[in-house]
Amino acid sequence: MSATVRKLQPVSSLNASGTRPMVGIEKVTMAFGDFVAVENVNLAVGDGEFLAIVGPTGCGKSTILNAIAGLLKPAVGAVSIDGATVSGVQNDIGYLFQQDALLPWKTAFENVELGLMFRRVGAAERRDKAMAWLEKVGLKGFEGRYPHQLSGGQRKRVQMAQALITEPKVILMDEPFSALDIHTRHLMQNELLRLWQEDRRAVVMITHDLEEAIALGDRVVVLAAGPKSHIIDSFPVDLERPRNVAEIKLDPRFLTLYRDIWASLRGEVEKSYARR
Ligand SMILES: Nc1ncnc2c1ncn2[C@@H]1O[C@H](COP(=O)(O)OP(=O)(O)OP(=O)(O)O)[C@@H](O)[C@H]1O
Ligand SMILES: [Mg+2]
């Protein structure tokens, strides 16, 4: 894995509709030595589409996300972002990790401006943008705090600002809210929807939480239990936006979707437990 190489070559993959996807995953197999985690995955995420991926633990969700980010290389197949093949770590993505990924020795402000520093943006512009983003995520006045002086939800807000400040083409999220209590999680989900709604970008979000997947996503994709995990189902979520995550769960269509997707996911979750 190289952190410096970033060669982009054009690829010609098109959607069924003939438009080019923002994220293209074509015949991708991911392996760790002899262990094949993911086999022959094909997936296209449109510009502005919010895609949620669900699947049993250990099936390869994070592995797929890391392939999009260019952190892992497919054994077979290719990933593209905006038509360019991914080879090496990507600049065009914002990555929201499950665990706290803030630098503990830097303040909220310094953490948020990091991505702009790496892109050699001048100090004045960095300051303006970082302060604006801290305000957008509800942390005005907290810019001088260190991560240990912030709550879990506040740290997540800093991470959100950190991931979005560079205006990435694609936002990757790996169970970003799973460590939060249920009330904070709802707040953060609504906050995320608000920010995304303002400036729609392609999102690929992984979650264990089927309610979260339906409440946030335009589409929910179900992965099979591993090894050799693959996509077994894809469900469009035809619920209006803007959405409120607490209210949407009361919509009868939400319940129907939940039932259908759970029927697909349940068997895989059971297989995954049986194999362990
Ligand atoms: N670096 C690695 N070396 C060897 N095996 C790995 C490595 N990373 C992941 N795996 C294996 O690949 C499979 C998929 O892992 P991955 O982390 O993608 O699963 P996941 O779906 O994200 O699981 P979870 O929901 O628990 O986060 C697992 O069986 C895991 O043990
Ligand atoms: Mg994972």
Whose alpha carbon is nearest atom 26 of ligand 1?
Answer: 57
Q: Distance, CA 226 to ligand 1 centroid (Å)?
A: 9
**Closest-approaching ligand to the CA atom of 97:** 2
Q: Is the CB of 32 under 6 A from ligand 1?
A: yes
Contact 84, 8 (CB under 8 A): yes
Ligand nearest to the CA of 37: 1
Segment 191-231, tens digit of pLDDT: 999 999 998 999 999 998 999 999 999 999 999 999 999 99
Of the listed ranges 35-49, 174-188, 221-235, the least confidently predicted one is 174-188
229 lines ligand 1 (CB under 6 A): no
| C-alpha 130 to ligand 1 mean position (Å) | 34
Question: Is the per-residue pLDDT at 20 higher than 60?
Answer: yes
202-206 vs 50-54, strand pairing mode: parallel
Tokens (6 digits) for 96: 């929201």
pLDDT (tens digit per residue) in 123-159:
999 999 999 999 999 999 999 999 999 999 999 999 9
Helices (H), 119-216: 123-136, 152-164, 182-198, 210-216
Q: Tell me the two tokens of residue 144.
A: 């001088």
Distance in angstroms (rounded) separating the CA atoms of residues 190 and 178: 15
User: Could you tell me which residues come within 8 angstroms of residue 238 by beta carbon, excluding any fewer than 6 positions away?
Assistant: 253
| C-beta 61 within 6 A of ligand 1 | yes
User: What are the pLDDT digits (tens) for 52-102?
Assistant: 999 999 999 999 999 999 999 999 999 999 999 999 888 889 999 888 889
Pocket test for ligand 1, best of 1, 25, 29, 35 (most atoms within 8 A of CB): 35
CA–CA distances in Å: residue 14 to residues 46, 90, 94, 168, 202: 10, 21, 23, 21, 16
Atom of ligand 1 nearest to the CA of 66: 18
